[in-house]
Structure 1
Amino acid sequence: MKRRKTWTPLVESRPARLAMAAAVLAATGALTVTFVSSGGKGTADAATNLAQFVPIQNVRPNVREPKPAAAASTGRFTVDCGTNGNGKFSPDNPVAQPGIKNGAEHVHDFVGNLAITADSSNADLDASGTTCRNGDKSSYFWPVVRIDKAVRSGNQVQQALAQTQPMVVCPSVRDRLPAVPTSTRTGIDRLLTELDRLETAANQRMTASRGRIDAALNKQVLDSLRDRRATLITSIGTTITAAGGNQPGMVSLVDCDVSYDGMHASMHGATHAASVTAGQAANPRIKCPTVRDRLPGVPDRAVAEVNRNLDELDRQISEANERLVTTRGQGGAAFVDNAILGPLKAKRVAVLDRMAIAISRQAPRPQGLEALAGCTLNQAPASPAPSAPASPAALPAPEGPDFELPGNTGGIVRPAKVLIEYRGNPVSKVVPMPKFLRALTGDAKPTSRGPANARASWTCSGFADRLADKYPICPAGSQVQRVHDFPGCWDGKNIDSANHRNHVAFADKTTGACPQGFQAIPQLRTTISYDIPRDVQVKGQYALDSFPEENHNPFSDHDDFINVNSAQTMQRIATCINKGKNCS
């Protein structure tokens, strides 16, 4: 995927909001979107498009809870994971975009798991610390809300889109492979090459929508690509397993997305001045050269040992990332180098040497692995290994004290309260969630993918009977709230699926029953409350971080979750709910 490497500062800081894009899609069924931006109106008025804001009193009650039946599970289990007071902000999305650094192109609040990044394995998640008081290591994350009173240009988004070629971006399979047995190396390389060819062909199809958003074409391209990638990735897994290697479990890497990240070049505001120093840069994260894609075929007798060492390398990076969070602000300028990066390099040298020795017992010792030991922080320019393959320029990382990205600027509003609760099912008992279950709710891209999975999430405290797909204007004394309900039904087998959705489902809105073949699980709900000054609400000066093409569309709100509760804790949650109790 080609990315812009330089940024051209503009006078205006954040572009105008999209004018009711989701509403147009929903009302007309049109899938080819034409942007009409009116925020700012070419004046010094700092207000955004006020059509995207609504007094909550004007929203009709629309929340209906099915009446509990005799077999209902009516309990409730709450978890206190804090409000991201430790400042774990990241533009990664480990659920929807595993392995893609900064792939969300907007910043998330993270609570719970401390080590999680786009690259975290299940073992990494399980070894992490947590912000949750009951020891829950699950990861809960959602886009941040910002206040930005700056003047906005009504033409920036349209102009940026007109210059943008949409591109297909896919998670890298090479970077996530286990040790590949020597006997299968040639075949696996052939399958990987075919994955590359499919992505290239998909991008050729995307040239038809240069300068515009065509959700119908996006769906056609992504659906076809998903089916073909699923077949190839399944073949990679079965080939490795049949030769005695570890089952990769790579279903999370199947789905691709359409990216409009080229818009960043035209939307890079004055707040992103070149004077931002590395010390100010937000979201420090460990960046290490990949190893899995650099290994030759591994002799059968060495496969198990090499896999153990690959997993150890992953755990070392996760531990270092967790230390970046928990030691933030400690020591002087050299603290990270001396206390985190230096020890990490020493550990990696030892592990890489063990891998090379294991391979050399039955085959020539791989050369150049030692060059992969050194790591940097993500905001510092990394020096690639001498023989490392060229890679595209990375998506932009957050900058400055407000963790800003192109198009996502202004001060982040910290939640006043985050309520995490697991709820029952109105017609049946619940079974425990499987460990490492992935789930998401809402859709970050209702404009470019269509609104089918988008969900209204906005309300105000005291108005629990209604949810809006616009930003709410709340009465005095009422908090702005986001309510995210996750699917409460599970297929009984899978912790993820090719589109990250099909393994879970929402219960029927009227009856509360799960679809056929699914069983009820503790249904996760997060309620995020904010103290936002009423004048900021009335002037339309707060908004959600978003992908560039969504331009802060309130209907693009979403939430993600990975269950890392122990089996014992999840059983306790299910038992509490089934007995109709309130527990924590």
Structure 2
Amino acid sequence: MGRNTRKRRTPLAAKVVAGAAALAVGGGGLVWANFHASAHEEGPAHHRTRSAAAQVATIDCPDVGQQLSGVPDRARGEVDGELATMDSQITEAYQRLATTRRAQAGDPQFVQNTILGPLKDRRKAIIDRIQLEIDRAGGRADDNLDQLAGCQGRPAEQPQNGDGQNGDGQNGDGQDGGQNQDDNGNGAAGPVADDFIDINDVEPNSRDSENGLAANGDGGSTGTFTTDCGVNENNLFNSDNLIAAPGVDNGAHHVHDYVGNQDNDAFSSDEDLANADTSCRNQGDRSTYYWPVLRLQDGTEEFDANELGGGAEGNVGRILKPAQAELKFVGNQQGDVVAMPKFLRIITGDAKSFTNGDANANSSWSCTGFEDRQVTDKYPLCPEGSQVVRTSNFQSCWDGQNIDSANHRDHMAFVQEDGGCPNGFQAIPQLQVRLVYDIPTPTVENGQVRNPYAVDSFPEQLHKPITDHNDFINVMDEDLMNEVVDCINSGEDCQ
């Protein structure tokens, strides 16, 4: 498979992470020390597992970006760049955590003194710069942001047996690259058995309309508009995030699938997007639709096996493109919708939900034939003949003024319980993305999962299903957007 090869600059932050990753790369893959087995643990496996439960598995840092509001427009670029550097710092610290298990076993203060303490100092320096940039641009920075500098270590939710693997990437048989048959090739970075659930064990109709997961359009405006943009037949992949980290190479730290606009990377301007080719059948739709790839952790070395965003950051295995990618816009229960402004940016879900909590989580997993059963925090195990389904229903209330906001959320809102928009917001067409995948059902036995699939994630998010998310930039021309609105408001089904 290929990737977007547009020449890009490499920011200093990316070079720092690259250096950290280079220390961890060996034998064609990342040397991820096992999170859950100490080099000095002896005795039966269950004793190893029990003592390992308290060991730090990942790093939990407050999300500074989510707390920002009122950032002046002329400070946005600098602030987004600083936030991306902060993400790179977390990645570097996480890699340090994952490759120092022997030292951690010998010193209970090692993580705090050599990883979390220095990380806090570096984050504090960035927060100070963010505050200065906001103030210089005429804004008023929150004086309490300093309280978000400190991070914590989070223990493993579900320890996995190390099977003799120790913290320096070796076992009793010699060096094994930090991997064994039970870690799916990523050093037990996830997913684990507890991240999966048999779809038959999910209660039907157990999900409500929280965060827009129930379809709009049952009342006021009942039409639909479907746009066909394919399934990434052009193999357009990269680990950028044009919305959250514009101008930053590898700003996502995980790989995205792209359909629609074909000029998608961190350095694409609005003009680039407007003039780009599109994979959409209707050439008036140059919108960009993107989401983190799914991978089957079956030992396959992908094109990015040694690259940042890919194997060098724990995203390993065969990339799975959807068999179907359904992109549909629907209406609002309470009334008509208005046109989206061009270049409106929307992120739904939260790539950091594992550490941030589920306030912005908006993932929905299911299986074909069982879509009355939806789950947010588990990957479904589908029966034979059934396919995995990912669904994202976007925020559909717009503040009427801004195409983006400092935290990339405040300019948008979900509908309220009655289906209407909050005061000051107006209804726009709601984007619903349904992705269907042909995936061999993983085997879960004795607390171990073999050949699992997982969503690409920031390294410290451990490939948890709750971190699934979806991104959209509206680049429809005016005529097409008016057609979308007319179809929805008149109750027609168009495409």
Counterpart of 1:481 (choices 348, 364, 389) is: 389
Q: 1:9 maps to which residue?
A: 25
CA contact (8 A) 1:105 1:405 kept: no
Distance, in Å, in 1 between the alignment partners of 2:230 and 2:275 is 20
| 1:378-411 Cα deviation digits (max 9, x unpaired) | x9xxxxxxxxxxxxxxxx546xxxx644200111
Q: Which residues in structure 2 correspond to 1:296-307 (within 5 Å)?
A: none
Q: 2:489 maps to which residue?
A: 578
The alignment status of 1:513 with 2:424, answered yes or no, reads no
Q: 2:342 maps to which residue?
A: 435
CA contact (8 A) 2:293 2:319 kept: yes
The alignment status of 1:566 with 2:473, answered yes or no, reads no
Counterpart of 1:143 (choices 284, 288, 292) is: 292
Counterpart of 1:550 (choices 437, 461, 474) is: 461
Q: Which residues in structure 2 correspond to 1:16-165 (within 5 Å)?
A: 32=152, 34-36=154-156, 38=158, 40-43=160-163, 44-45=181-182, 48-60=191-203, 61-64=205-208, 72-135=220-283, 136-150=285-299
| 1:85-117 Cα deviation digits (max 9, x unpaired) | 110001001011111111101000000000121
Which structure shows the higher helix fraction?
1
Q: Which has the higher contact order (CA 8 A, sep 6+)?
A: 1
CA contact (8 A) 1:17 1:552 kept: no
TM, length-normalised to structure 1: 0.53
Distance, in Å, in 2 between the alignment partners of 1:67 and 1:453 is 18
Distance, in Å, in 2 between the alignment partners of 1:471 and 1:14 is 26
The residue identity in structure 2 corresponding to 1:130 is T
Shift of 1:455: 2.0
| 1:268-295 Cα deviation digits (max 9, x unpaired) | xx969xxxxxxx669xxxxxxxxxxxxx
Distance, in Å, in 2 between the alignment partners of 1:560 and 1:139 is 8
- Gap change, CA 1:147 and 1:281, over 3 Å in 2: closer
Q: 2:169 maps to which residue?
A: none
Q: Which structure is larger by alpha-carbon Rg, 1 or 2?
A: 1
The residue identity in structure 1 corresponding to 2:240 is D
Secondary structure, aligned partner of 2:361: coil
The residue identity in structure 2 corresponding to 1:423 is V
Shift of 1:448: 3.7
Counterpart of 2:314 (choices 364, 385, 407) is: 407
Shift of 1:14: 8.0
Shift of 1:9: 3.0
| 1:352-394 Cα deviation digits (max 9, x unpaired) | xxxxxxxxxxxxxxxxxxxxxxxxxxx9xxxxxxxxxxxxxxx
Shift of 1:13: 5.5
The residue identity in structure 1 corresponding to 2:201 is N
The alignment status of 1:454 with 2:361, answered yes or no, reads yes
Shift of 1:534: 2.1
Identity across the alignment (%): 44
Shift of 1:32: 4.8
- Gap change, CA 1:553 and 1:13, over 3 Å in 2: same
| 1:180-220 Cα deviation digits (max 9, x unpaired) | xxxxxxxxxxxxxxxxxxxxxxxxxxxxxxxxxxxxxxxxx
| 1:314-357 Cα deviation digits (max 9, x unpaired) | xxxxxxxxxxxxxxxxxxxxxxxxxxxxxxxxxxxxxxxxxxxx
The residue identity in structure 1 corresponding to 2:388 is V
Gaps in structure 1 of 5+ consecutive residues: 26-30, 151-269, 273-279, 283-378, 380-395
How many residues align? The count is 335
Shift of 1:568: 1.1
- Gap change, CA 1:70 and 1:545, over 3 Å in 2: closer
The residue identity in structure 2 corresponding to 1:3 is V
| 1:239-264 Cα deviation digits (max 9, x unpaired) | xxxxxxxxxxxxxxxxxxxxxxxxxx
Shift of 1:478: 1.1
Secondary structure, aligned partner of 1:34: strand
Secondary structure, aligned partner of 2:325: strand
Counterpart of 2:431 (choices 505, 519, 524) is: 524
- Gap change, CA 1:13 and 1:542, over 3 Å in 2: farther
CA contact (8 A) 1:17 1:553 kept: no
Counterpart of 1:444 (choices 344, 351, 357) is: 351
- Gap change, CA 1:558 and 1:14, over 3 Å in 2: farther
Secondary structure, aligned partner of 1:571: helix
Shift of 1:477: 1.2
What is the aligned-residue RMSD (CA, Å)?
Answer: 3.2
Counterpart of 1:420 (choices 322, 327, 340) is: 327
CA contact (8 A) 1:81 1:112 kept: yes
Secondary structure, aligned partner of 2:23: coil
Distance, in Å, in 1 between the alignment partners of 2:484 and 2:433 is 16
TM, length-normalised to structure 2: 0.62
Range with greater deviation from structure 2 (460-469 or 4-13): 4-13
Secondary structure, aligned partner of 1:142: strand
